[in-house]
Structure 1
Amino acid sequence: MKHGGQLSWPTTCLTCYESGWPSMPQDESSFEFEARALNIARAIHDPAGLQGPVFYQGRERDAIFVTSDAIHAYEFTTRRDVEKAKHDAQKTKDMLTELQRKPENAFKSLTGWFVTREEPTADQKKVIAQMLRGSQVVIHPISVTTLLGRLCNSEAYLAARGKAPFGSIAYSIRQNFPDVKVPVPFFAKQGGLLHVGDVSERLAAGSRFLLSGEFGIGKSHALREIYLSLRKAHLRSHKLKRFPLHINLRDCVGLRSPAEIIRRHAEEIGFPEGDKLISAWRAGSCTLLLDGFDEVVPPRWLGSASDLKDFRWEALAPVRRLIEETPTNSGVITCGRSHYFSSEKEMLDALGFGLTCNLLTLNDFDKEQLQKYLDLVGVQWSVPDWMPTRPLLIGYLVSMQLFSEIDSTLGNPTTAWRKLFSAVCERESRMFVAVRPQVIQRLVSRVATIARSNGDETGPVDVSMLRTAFIDVNGREPDEEGSQVLLRLPGLAIADAETNSALDGEKRYFVDKSLAETAYGEDLAQYLISPYDSHALSRSASWVQAASELGIGVATAACVDAGVTATGVIAAAKRRQNNHQYDAVLADALRVHFELGPGKGNTREQFLIEGVIFPFLTLSGDDPIQSRTTFSDCVIETLDVSDVDAGEKVPIFRNTIIGYLEGASRIPDWLNKNLTSCEIYNFSAPNRTTAAIMELKISPERRVALAILKKIYAQPGSGRKEGALFRGMDMRSRELVPDVIGKLVSGGWISPAPAGREHLYVQVKGIRGRVMRALDDPASFYF
């Protein structure tokens, strides 16, 4: 190390000064403050390398930056006394005066900087000004906040960032309701519950987080709340704390380096100083928030499961570098859909996180959060049991103002799920340039059909199945954007990343059974509309599970929208029957036919359903097609006979297993004669049948009310058509039904939902327990 008139710096100190910004600047030591200030000065003058601390004429100087046209000398201090300002100013003045005399510096500007943690006192500024009177040397007394402003105007950045979209929040339908906030709980894998303030504090301390969650769970909203918390802390600390740098990764298509990502981000939000933003990031002056790691489009994808990890690794290369090159003590959080990866380990590796990364997840609204949200937006509504509590979907319902009236069609699960399905596909399509929402809807619908081939309506589906769906819908191989669409299809997830090995072929599942049923119902309708086209459902079904009541309702509504009549549907069923396809699709087609119009379609065709599993099957005396159908070797988990009156025709059952007979405490005579080698394991409790309820020693109105509630709440999430509520009662009781229905609706026991030909009455969320207690103890029931 040389002294005297030569500049030199002790290499042993460089590593210490590289430590970056400490976790709590207001409590930092003098050494930590000097390290932080030096990093900022380095980024301002020479982002590529550190210049300082140095020695000149035997005295240590905190930093000197020498360029071809300027020399900048720095002194950093946490002290507030005048003597310190006088000492450092004199030291800087002497050095700059000496350097100015050297020939090589004749045409260089020389500037000194006296940098304090808080704003310099008036006395410090005064004494420095007095010392420089009559001198050509310039020394600026400033705070580290002002110094940071020279590096990057964080206030201007935050103003620009606040006006720009935040992740997928930008794709929500505009709301006419106030911007309300419901506390966001994060579930840490290591155990415990964290809130926005907890995560923000740990980020400020330099921690790193990876937030994953499924479609619509509220990841972008949560990241924005963290951004707002960090923004507030930065401004309230007079910019002593790091400012949040929030980047939407979907804007970074085709980029290759961290610098390109930050420049693109600056352009997208309208911030003109992208290079300064890069310098601030490298100086450790900001906390990094990255939204949507699953939205980064890579240059190519060959389409097989074997190279999918390479696909993701390549796609996330610039993001990985951005995280890895962020200064060690700067906080980082990124979020995305966990199903983008096949395992947790791959996710951590591809994103450049080490073992010390904190893993967080988000869950659906619980009952308390849901009610608080509805209260804040001014919605008064009895939420039915089928209502999803996923924040995104709840937000869509509010945005579309479907809570405005109690008798909204939202009360119909079929209508509601179709609206939700359409809305999420519309939202997803806005993230891509050339993909229409109808295409995404058809893709998800086809995936739902393909998923059933693996034995469950929720999946699994692998990469080859996703590609098959894309080719079926579009008639071509997926291109770059199409590949990304497939990986991001809304509603799909990996059920258990830890068990999803490479041998599993990147299997995915629908995150919600009702969503899968809705999507399948839409695809079933497309087949029934054009049964002669080369639709996937025109082939024999490789699955045995019949659609749920929701799936049938969705298919029926889609057929109505397309102008398809019961006659058209029965034609498709007859074609299937003639092809000896006695499968689940035929069963679904016959049920859609009944929903479209019982008694229509004057066919005398006899139908056979063979080897199909029904989770729930309702018999009806109004359906002549059903009465001419034979169910052979089937499994019916619940067979509801409540809507059949004595003397009406019913189907034939052969070698069929019935798990539960709803609406009868024993086998009725009219059904027994149509059973051949069948087994029935359980029956309704004697007091739960319509006949038993109508014999109770309570008022006629209460009997009718209990009978109606029993039918509507027979299965979780199901509803009943108005006509079915009259069945099983004598004429006098039937006269009371309209008035009792009105009282049950006004009392919040049931909810009406127009369903085309007649009204549908559905369950109300949170009431099922009360209904079951009333059926167990009818004497205590009043409404």
Structure 2
Amino acid sequence: MLIEPDISVQQVLMRFPGLTTGHANEERAFIEASIFEAAQAGSLTEIIEALATKSEEYMRSDGIQKLMRLFCKTRNAITALTAELVIATLKQQERVGLLSVALQQAMLNEQSAVGNLPADLLICGSLQPDRLLRKEVKAIALRGASIPHLEITAELTGGRKLTFEDCIFDELDLSFNSDSIGSVSFHRCRVQRLSCAQDVANCIRDVGLEPGDVEETSVIDATNADIMEMSIPAQLKVLKIILRKLFQQKGSGRRRGAFYRGIHGIDPDIVDRCLTALLKSGIAYVVGAQHSDDAVWHPNRAHARRVAFLVDTLSIPDDAVVQEIL
């Protein structure tokens, strides 16, 4: 398990229908990772609210300290699903402004400054940085975090400096151009899979990543920022970004939430229309319920040549998928 439950609730958890015994030592584990991720979102929201109070007395209370201890010793930072649920809760409560305050406090708090908690909050903010991260947050520093996936976009780096020290990334997407290279720096970090544009790859040492720090690099022709600057309809911009994530970035599929990042200022409903069109055309297939946040989308490599044309073309192509979304 990613978080060891308090001894007082272990008997209840043993009877929880979402748990199963699948280990040699009969240790209980979640049947679906999404069950854990959804439960984790509620606890993280509580921590955000607590940190945002800036009250040392409240932070020292027994309930908050239990949560803080749990989140300060997780093996990995949160997934996109957990982040999406946290943001959905904050939006529903009209309290999205708390995230920036909580992130700043987490970086200052001696208990949480090193570890995954600040990374958890950054992952939340990376979903919609222009709305979720205040402009006064000029510097974000993470230390000793283990991050499953992070996409650093031009919107996330805009007007702020991101520093990572002694961090481990399973997947790192640098979705910005080389002119933003000075906004990010890495120190003694390890990256399993790195995706970036060629101009960024050419100067990757300038951000502090040496060849030995990255196990696998995927060089792509264009970043999300490049696509967003094109003089084409918003629907085609979104389609290009989705196809780029599906076909050009390494990995075993993309959760639905990944397609909503990097589309600054565009109606998310367009993402839904594009995904539906790709599914209908057979260019992509989905494991799980189509509209579920936990659904994993995969590319149909039989359409690789067609997709390459759709991503690279500078004009509006005469393609059935494009006609479907326009």
TM-score w.r.t. the length of structure 2 is 0.67
CA 1:591–1:554 in 2, change beyond 3 Å: closer, same or farther? same
Match runs of 1:252-331 below 5 Å: none
In the alignment of these two chains, the number of paired residues is 272
Sequence identity of aligned pairs in percent? 16
Other-structure match for 1:487: 14
Deviation for aligned residue 1:545? 1.0
Deviation per residue, 1:442-466 (Å, 9 max, x gap): xxxxxxxxx424xxxxxxx5xxx35
Q: Give me the whole-angstrom Cα distance separating, in 1, the residues matched to 2:161 and 2:292.
A: 28
Secondary structure of the structure 2 residue equivalent to 1:622: helix
Other-structure match for 1:588: 120
Other-structure match for 1:653: 186
Deviation per residue, 1:22-81 (Å, 9 max, x gap): xxxxxxxxxxxxxxxxxxxxxxxxxxxxxxxxxxxxxxxxxxxxxxxxxxxxxxxxxxxx
CA 1:520–1:586 in 2, change beyond 3 Å: closer, same or farther? same
Deviation per residue, 1:166-225 (Å, 9 max, x gap): xxxxxxxxxxxxxxxxxxxxxxxxxxxxxxxxxxxxxxxxxxxxxxxxxxxxxxxxxxxx
Deviation for aligned residue 1:661? 1.5
Other-structure match for 2:170: 637
Deviation for aligned residue 1:631? 0.7
Other-structure match for 2:262: 724
Other-structure match for 1:266: none
Deviation per residue, 1:457-495 (Å, 9 max, x gap): xxxx5xxx353447xxxxxxxxxxxx5x44312311111
Other-structure match for 1:509: 29
Letter in 2 for 1:724: G
Is 1:611–1:634's contact at 8 Å kept on the other side of the alignment? yes
The higher radius of gyration belongs to 1
Other-structure match for 2:95: 564
Secondary structure of the structure 1 residue equivalent to 2:197: coil
Deviation for aligned residue 1:562? 3.0
Is 1:586–1:609's contact at 8 Å kept on the other side of the alignment? yes
The answer as to 2:48 corresponding to 1:525 is no
Secondary structure of the structure 2 residue equivalent to 1:647: helix
Structure 2 gap segments, 5+ residues each: 52-57, 227-231, 286-290, 311-318, 322-326
CA 1:741–1:571 in 2, change beyond 3 Å: closer, same or farther? closer
CA 1:652–1:468 in 2, change beyond 3 Å: closer, same or farther? farther
Match runs of 1:740-755 below 5 Å: 745-746=276-277, 748=280
Other-structure match for 2:84: 553
Is 2:260–2:271's contact at 8 Å kept on the other side of the alignment? no
Deviation per residue, 1:701-724 (Å, 9 max, x gap): 9x9655531225645242345572
Q: Give me the whole-angstrom Cα distance separating, in 1, the residues matched to 2:76 and 2:261.
A: 28
CA 1:726–1:555 in 2, change beyond 3 Å: closer, same or farther? closer
Deviation for aligned residue 1:512? 1.3
Q: Give me the whole-angstrom Cα distance separating, in 2, the residues matched to 1:741 and 1:559.
A: 22
Letter in 2 for 1:587: A
Is 1:750–1:761's contact at 8 Å kept on the other side of the alignment? no
Deviation for aligned residue 1:676? 5.1
Letter in 1 for 2:102: A
Other-structure match for 1:575: 105
Is 1:553–1:592's contact at 8 Å kept on the other side of the alignment? yes
Other-structure match for 2:243: 709
Please provide the CA RMSD for this pair.
Answer: 4.1
Q: Give me the whole-angstrom Cα distance separating, in 2, the residues matched to 1:507 and 1:723.
A: 36
Deviation for aligned residue 1:658? 1.3
Secondary structure of the structure 2 residue equivalent to 1:452: coil
Deviation per residue, 1:544-570 (Å, 9 max, x gap): 41111112112221222333223x222
Is 2:177–2:199's contact at 8 Å kept on the other side of the alignment? no
Q: Give me the whole-angstrom Cα distance separating, in 2, the residues matched to 1:706 and 1:565.
A: 29
CA 1:627–1:660 in 2, change beyond 3 Å: closer, same or farther? farther
Match runs of 1:87-126 below 5 Å: none
Q: Give me the whole-angstrom Cα distance separating, in 1, the residues matched to 2:50 and 2:245.
A: 35
Q: Give me the whole-angstrom Cα distance separating, in 2, the residues matched to 1:673 and 1:682.
A: 18
Q: Give me the whole-angstrom Cα distance separating, in 1, the residues matched to 2:94 and 2:270.
A: 34
Other-structure match for 1:452: 2
Q: Give me the whole-angstrom Cα distance separating, in 2, the residues matched to 1:674 and 1:706.
A: 27
Is 2:104–2:137's contact at 8 Å kept on the other side of the alignment? no
Is 2:18–2:30's contact at 8 Å kept on the other side of the alignment? yes
Match runs of 1:121-160 below 5 Å: none
Letter in 2 for 1:645: N
Q: Give me the whole-angstrom Cα distance separating, in 1, the residues matched to 2:16 and 2:117.
A: 25
Q: Give me the whole-angstrom Cα distance separating, in 2, the residues matched to 1:620 and 1:486.
A: 39
CA 1:764–1:557 in 2, change beyond 3 Å: closer, same or farther? closer
Deviation for aligned residue 1:744? 5.9
Other-structure match for 1:621: 154
Q: Give me the whole-angstrom Cα distance separating, in 2, the residues matched to 1:741 and 1:509.
A: 33
Letter in 1 for 2:76: Q
Q: Give me the whole-angstrom Cα distance separating, in 2, the residues matched to 1:627 and 1:718.
A: 28
Is 1:629–1:652's contact at 8 Å kept on the other side of the alignment? yes
Letter in 1 for 2:302: R
Is 2:80–2:123's contact at 8 Å kept on the other side of the alignment? no
Structure 1 gap segments, 5+ residues each: 1-450, 454-460, 471-482, 501-505, 695-699, 728-733, 752-759
Is 2:187–2:208's contact at 8 Å kept on the other side of the alignment? yes
Secondary structure of the structure 1 residue equivalent to 2:192: strand
Other-structure match for 1:384: none
Is 1:718–1:763's contact at 8 Å kept on the other side of the alignment? yes
The answer as to 2:143 corresponding to 1:610 is yes
Letter in 2 for 1:550: L
Secondary structure of the structure 2 residue equivalent to 1:557: helix
Is 1:614–1:637's contact at 8 Å kept on the other side of the alignment? yes
Is 1:665–1:683's contact at 8 Å kept on the other side of the alignment? no
Letter in 1 for 2:41: G
Secondary structure of the structure 1 residue equivalent to 2:114: coil
Other-structure match for 1:768: 298
Q: Give me the whole-angstrom Cα distance separating, in 2, the residues matched to 1:740 and 1:584.
A: 30
Match runs of 1:163-174 below 5 Å: none
Other-structure match for 1:467: 7
CA 1:623–1:739 in 2, change beyond 3 Å: closer, same or farther? closer
Match runs of 1:388-467 below 5 Å: 451-453=1-3, 461=4, 465-467=5-7
Letter in 1 for 2:262: A
Is 2:189–2:213's contact at 8 Å kept on the other side of the alignment? yes
Q: Give me the whole-angstrom Cα distance separating, in 2, the residues matched to 1:626 and 1:636.
A: 23
CA 1:664–1:468 in 2, change beyond 3 Å: closer, same or farther? farther
Letter in 2 for 1:679: D
Secondary structure of the structure 2 residue equivalent to 1:582: coil
Letter in 1 for 2:244: K
Q: Give me the whole-angstrom Cα distance separating, in 1, the residues matched to 2:116 and 2:31.
A: 23
Is 2:19–2:30's contact at 8 Å kept on the other side of the alignment? yes
Deviation for aligned residue 1:604? 4.7
Letter in 2 for 1:521: A
